[in-house]
Amino acid sequence: MLIGGEAMSDKLKVGILGATGMVGQRFNTLLDNHPWFEVTTLAASKSSAGKTYEEAVKGRWKMDTPIPEAVKNIVVKDVADVEDIAKEVDFVFSAVNMSKEEIKAIEEAYAKAETPVVSNNSAHRWTPDVPMVIPEINPEHYAVIEDQKKRLGTKRGFIAVKPNCSIQSYTPCLAAWKEFEPTKVVVSTYQAISGAGKTFKEWPEMVGNIIPLISGEEEKSEQEPLKVFGHIENGEIVKAEGPIISAQCIRVPVLNGHTATVSISFKKKPTKEELIDRLNNFKGQPQEFKLPHAPEHFIRYMEEENRPQVTLDVDYEGGMGVSIGRLREDNIFDYKFVGLSHNTLRGAAGGAVESAEMLTKLGYITKK
């Protein structure tokens, strides 16, 4: 197999920070038998350190599939032992559960220990020289890593993040429709409980319930697409001026899958057929490169009037594709539609794995 023009003799060694939580568990299942990456190190809080991974997640394994055999007997390390872990791995995925300031500090410590960090956390999303990338949409933002390395004083260490799970059900459409210049977007998201790292067993009060607040989520849903659509200037990512996005984010009794209802206006109003055509034909670099976790079709438009549905459609393209439906004209805006994406695959661990594959393909992540 060729990566960046060179044959890859053996796999890159990967560490997972925050390996015992829900996203950490998802990383372990996704990376099992990965063609390029091998999980060699698992790290979590002091309370899990010293136990085997199987012991550390006993009674709280939340995935549908069993714990991968390859990681069961790995002894969990303390995430704070940066130097020790950095010696063992080529790069790390970060899904730690700490305060924002603690996350910023620990991720920067790994980067300064010359270990690239691909993070699922929000802490560094607004650090100006940290790329926040959906690989199909803005891979050119990875170029800011060179400026970040200068700031950190590193040769190969850096931090790259992925955006919030809530934006994945509509931001790809905005990218596909860029030529028509979206101006205003009103979005309501209906978000699954796994986004809070929970199952129904752990959160019984969510059964048959709706909670009209997900702390911090509305600002993320309004602002993060603007960084994704921004540009690099003087070693920093400057966010785009528009479109103006207004969001409401609601927790609903669904395990996996964020649904969004969206109304949108354009500077150059397209036909419905043009909009559908751009969705179905949208491709990015991950598709050209055929990255292991890239969906063959990133966005699909569903003609059935009662789709997308969570139970039928959330696992489209292995949870890495986005399903759009019910596109029609709107009385106030130009059009409205419904979007669905898998919040822990495309929206979290899967998006981070695809990002790491892209960074490897582009030569930012290499063997130490």
Which one of the listed residues 124, 141, 249, 258 is annotated catalytic?
258
SS3 call for 288: helix
Residue at 333: amino acid letter: F
User: Dihedral (C-alpha) 129, 133, 136, 141: value to the nearest 10 degrees?
Assistant: 0
* Location of structure tokens 């009209």: 212
Residues paired with 256 in a beta bridge: none
Question: What domains sit in the chain, N to C, each tagged with a CATH number?
Answer: 2-164+349-361 (3.40.50.720), 167-342 (3.30.360.10)
Output the tens digit of pLDDT for each of the chain's 368 residues: 444 444 445 899 999 999 999 999 999 999 999 999 999 999 999 999 999 999 999 999 999 999 999 999 999 999 999 999 999 999 999 999 999 999 999 999 999 999 999 999 999 999 999 999 999 999 999 999 999 999 999 999 999 999 999 999 999 999 999 999 999 999 999 999 999 999 999 999 999 999 999 999 999 999 999 999 999 999 999 999 999 999 999 999 999 999 999 999 999 999 999 999 999 999 999 999 999 999 999 999 999 999 999 999 999 999 999 999 999 999 999 999 999 999 999 999 999 999 999 999 999 999 99
* Verdict on whether the full-model pTM lies above 0.75: yes
* CA atoms of 32 and 89, how far apart (whole Å): 16
Find the catalytic residue in 124, 141, 165, 293.
Answer: 165
Phi, psi of 245 (to 5 degrees): -120, 130
Q: Is 173 a catalytic residue?
A: no
Give Dmax over CA atoms of the chain in angstroms.
60
For the record, the structure tokens of 223 come out as 């602002």
